[in-house]
Structures are given as structure tokens and as C-alpha cells.
Amino acid sequence: MIAKPCVLPKSIEKYQAIIRRIPETNLSKPEIVTDYNNRLTGFLGEESVMNFHLEPISDLNYQIYHDLRLYHGKYYFQIDILILCAYFALVLEVKNWSRDWHFDKVLHQTMVDVNGKLERTKNPIFQARLQAFKLREWLKANKMTGIPIQFLFVNSNEKSNIIIQEDNKYKWNVCNSEYLLEKIDQIDKDYKIELLDEKELRKINKLLLTSHTPENVDLLEKYNLSHKEILTGVHCPGCNHLPMTYNAGTWRCSKCRMESKTAFTDTIQDYFHLINPTITNSEARRFLQIKSPKMAHYYLNSMNLNSTGTFKNKI
Ligand SMILES: [Zn+2]
């Protein structure tokens, strides 16, 4: 079963919000766009593994989790995909890079091909191994021991090659996504002892889901930007142009001619993503570029948000 499905992470939504709301002339913009593209590419790789390559086993007795972020010791650790069953756990580190991977067997350095030149990068097999180690410690701290944890680096990009020697100690821990089911079959054959009963699996499932803490990155802080650099106004849901103009209950885009009565909701979400998780009537007016407190009140009310305070003090 898919215990935690693949959904677009909030951090990627935040990047989409900041990209449409800082001008092209902002010096941080190229870096932000690059970081966004990398995150999006990574997510699309994980999505293809979850929704396509693991789909055939999604109805079997595996609990499959996408993107778990758990706290242990002093820090969070993050697992791209976890497969859990009564016999074993399997941690997947998924990369969707359009570069060839070269694994060295002596120092276990990893190189990727950048325009014909090899550049060193983090070894994704060791990243997977580290997450597996941390998961073991986390389970131990939660009084669950004894389940073997395997780890794999999965290359989800069909255009990139993996170059690894036959006698590399870690060659088993690498595969392309199309070979993933075969790997799971192999692990199935190796682990025959039932270590977790249904009750224990349910308990771990509940613990994983309640312990998962999504990343809540503050992009203004990360890129050293101030609130003032964020463009206000309602953006067009069709082409991201802003601001849309308002007339008689309808927002209109001057660029793609789209018309919408509800475009303001995405703009309020942008405010939550970038500026503050709470909003007042006057902040909403400033961000939506509207003058009427009544209209701002009507819009915010229509979104069914949680609120505290009354009248002027309402948040
Ligand atoms: Zn538009």
C-alpha cells in the first residue's frame, strides 16, 4: 500500500511563489531559479519511481512512503522513499540528474560528467546508507529493533548512465529505476523471516506518519531578501503575470486575457508561503492591492481560514 503518497512538497510551492514575485532584475533570482529547477527535477524523479516503477507492487504487502523527514538526535534526516514490510525495510535515495555517474572502487569517490569533464559530487550510495543508519537509530530510540534495513541509490533519469566496476564493493546498492522491482525481488528472496506482525507494522506506520515533519524553509531568509522586495498584487493563475486588474468581481490578466473570480486565493497562499503564516485585513489589502476593507474581509472569509481575535484585531 502507498502509506504516504507522492505530493508536491510545500517547499517547491514556495519556490514557485517567490519566482513569480521577485523582479527579473533581482540579483538573487538566477540562483533561486537554479535551486528551484534542481528541486523540481528531483521531485519529478521521485514521482516517476513512486507512481510508475513501484506502482506494480503498491497493492502488495509493502508499506511505501514518499519523502519522510524525521527528527533524531540534533537534526532531521530525510528519506526519499521508504519501503517497509514484515521482513525488511529498504531506503531509496533517488537522483534524477541528467549526468553520467562514475563510481570509483578505491576511495569510493563519485564523479559526474559535466560537459565532458568529471566533477566530484556526494556519493549517493553513502547518502542512502547514512539515511538507513539514521532510520535504524530512530527506530531503536522508539524501541523497535531487529528489522534489517537495506539501502539503494536509484537513478531515475533514463538518459544518464551508471559506470561502476564489477568488483566495486557497493555495486549491489546502485540501480536504474527500471531495475528496481528486480532488486526488491532479490531482497525478498534474501529475507525470509517474518520480524514484524501486523500490529507492529501498524504501530510503525502510525509513528512514521505522525513523526514526519515537512521542511518549512524561509526563502526570504535563505536568500537574504526583505519583504519589500516581494512584488504585491494578484498574479494570473494562467501565466503568472502580475498584477491582474479588478473590475466588478472579476480579476483580468492584461497579458493572457485570463479572467478569474478566485485568483486572489493563490495570492493569499503566496503571502503565507513567503511573508507570514498569518494575515490581517490590512496586510491582505496591501498584498492584493485593494482598498476596501469589506472586500478583503469577504475574500479572507471565503477561504475558510482559521482565525483568532475579532474586528480590527482579527488575524
Ligand atoms: Zn495571464
Residue count of the chain: 315
205 in the same domain as 110: yes
Query: Do residues 160 and 261 share a domain?
Result: no
Asked if the structure places residue 285 within a domain, the reply is: yes
Q: Is there a single domain that holds both residue 249 and residue 308?
A: yes
Strand partners, 77: 70
Supply 51's cell numbers.
Answer: 507512481
- Residue 12 C-alpha to ligand 1 middle, in angstroms? 21
**Residues 289 and 155 both lie in one domain:** no
Give residue 284's identity as a one-letter amino acid code: A
Inter-helix orientation angle 281-288/293-302, to 10°: 100
Q: How far is the CA of 261 from the centre of ligand 1 (A)?
A: 14
Angle, helix 263-274 to helix 293-302, in steps of 10 degrees: 90
Q: How would you class 192 by CB atoms within 10 Å of its CB: exposed for 0-12, middle for 13-18, buried for 19 or more?
A: exposed
Clarify whether residues 116 and 30 are in a common domain.
Answer: yes
Rounded Cα–Cα distance for residues 93 and 132 (Å): 10
Q: Is residue 280, in this structure, part of any structural domain at all?
A: yes
Give me the domain span that covers residue 286.
Answer: 232-313
* Residue 224 included in any domain: no
pLDDT at position 311 is 77
pLDDT value at position 271? 97
Q: Distance from the CA of 252 to the center of ligand 1, in angstroms?
A: 8
Last residue of a domain, one of 211, 246, 278: 211
Residue 69 lies in a domain: yes
Which of 211, 242, 258 delimits the end of a domain? 211
Question: Is 217 domain-assigned?
Answer: no
* Inter-residue contact 82 to 135 (CB < 8 Å): yes
CA of 234 from ligand 1 middle (Å) equals: 11
143 and 247 part of one domain: no
3-state helix, strand, coil in the chain (%, to 5): 40, 20, 40
* pTM summary value: 0.92
DSSP structure class, residue 79: E
Q: Comparing C-alpha atoms, which of 33, 290, 46 is closest to residue 156? A: 46
One domain for residues 76 and 146: yes
Ion ligand 1 residues within 5 Å by Cβ: 236, 238-239, 241, 253, 255-256, 258
Pair (66, 166) in one structural domain = yes
Query: How many whole angstroms from 15 Cα to the centroid of ligand 1?
Result: 19
Distance 259 CA to ligand 1 centre (A): 8
State how far the alpha carbon of 312 is from the alpha carbons of 136, 232, 275, in Å. Answer: 51, 22, 20
Centre of ligand 1 to C-alpha 170, Å, is 50
The CA 257 to ligand 1 mean position distance, Å, reads 6
Q: How far is the CA of 256 from the centre of ligand 1 (A)?
A: 4
pLDDT of residue 310: 83
Domain count, the chain: 2
From ligand 1's centre to the CA of 244, what distance in Å?
8
Q: 125 lies in a domain?
A: yes
Cα(253) to ligand 1 centroid in Å equals 5
Shared domain for 77 and 167, answered yes or no, is yes
User: Does residue 251 belong to any structural domain of this protein?
Assistant: yes
Domain boundary among 141, 176, 211: 211
Whole-angstrom distance, CA of residue 243 vs CA of residue 264: 11
What CA–CA distances, in Å, run from 157 to 43, 64, 119? 12, 21, 18
Contacts 24+ apart (CB under 8 A), 225-229: 225/22, 225/26, 225/28, 227/275, 229/22, 229/26
Sequence-separated contacts (24+) of 53-60 with Cβ below 8 Å: 53/177, 53/178, 53/180, 53/181, 54/81, 54/83, 54/180, 54/181, 56/181, 57/181, 57/184, 58/1, 58/2, 59/1
User: Whose CA is closest to 64, among 3, 109, 14, 117?
Assistant: 3
Encode the chain (315 residues) as per-residue pLDDT tens digits: 999 999 999 999 999 999 999 999 999 999 999 999 999 999 999 999 999 999 999 999 999 999 999 999 899 999 999 999 999 999 999 999 999 999 999 999 999 999 989 999 999 999 999 999 999 999 999 999 889 999 999 999 999 999 999 999 999 999 999 999 999 999 999 999 999 999 999 999 999 999 999 999 999 999 999 999 999 999 999 999 999 999 988 999 999 999 999 999 999 999 999 999 999 999 999 999 999 999 999 999 999 999 898 877 889
Report the separation in Å between the CA atom of 238 and the middle of ligand 1, taken as the mean of its atom positions. 5
Question: Does residue 197 fall inside a structural domain?
Answer: yes
On whether both 189 and 237 belong to a single domain, the answer is no
> Could you tell me the CA-to-CA distances from 39 to 49, 261, 310 in Å, in that order?
16, 31, 40
Look-up: residue for cell 539514521? Answer: 134
Identify whether residues 97 and 154 lie together within a single domain: yes
Nearest to 272 by CA among 283, 257, 282: 283
Claim to verify: residue 237 and residue 170 sit in the same structural domain: no
